[in-house]
Amino acid sequence: MALDVLFCLVVAVADGDTLTARCGEPGAYEQVKVRISGIDAPEKAQAFGQRSKQALSDLCFRETATIRPTTRDKYGRTVADVECQGQDVSMAQVKTGMAWVFDRYSEGYEHLYPLQDRAKGARVGLWSDASPVPPWDWRQQKRSTSRHVGSSP
């Protein structure tokens, strides 16, 4: 789905790996919900979730983002490589310990692993936690727990 490169104003940040951008010409703007490629950030209710969101906001909110769409996810979001303030967002979030490399979708993003290893070694961001839980495991635990709520023994 290698679409054209988009230059958009970031108007909202949902969490550490999802933002909303306003793209297009004045009078014909389109809101695009973007999931950043190659990474998975802590969920908002998870440890470091708010800090991860804030880090993405500091980098991108009210900035012009360069968005290179690659595909769409199951929620209809545009999955894209994103740059804000001249920085690759995936690299910035991983390097500062604000996101994991998303193992399941890491093909083409292998260059993020050394950044993650350095962040882990330096215990920065989420790596300062004694036993950080990857968001995909955290979501799975939440789904399992919610299925058992209210069921009889």
Q: Among all residues, which ones are annotated catalytic?
A: 35, 43, 77
Rounded to whole angstroms, the Cα distance separating 13 from 111 reads 25
From residue 127, alpha-carbon distances to 55, 64, 87, 98, 124 in Å are: 15, 30, 22, 9, 5
Under 8 Å between Cβ of 17 and 80: no
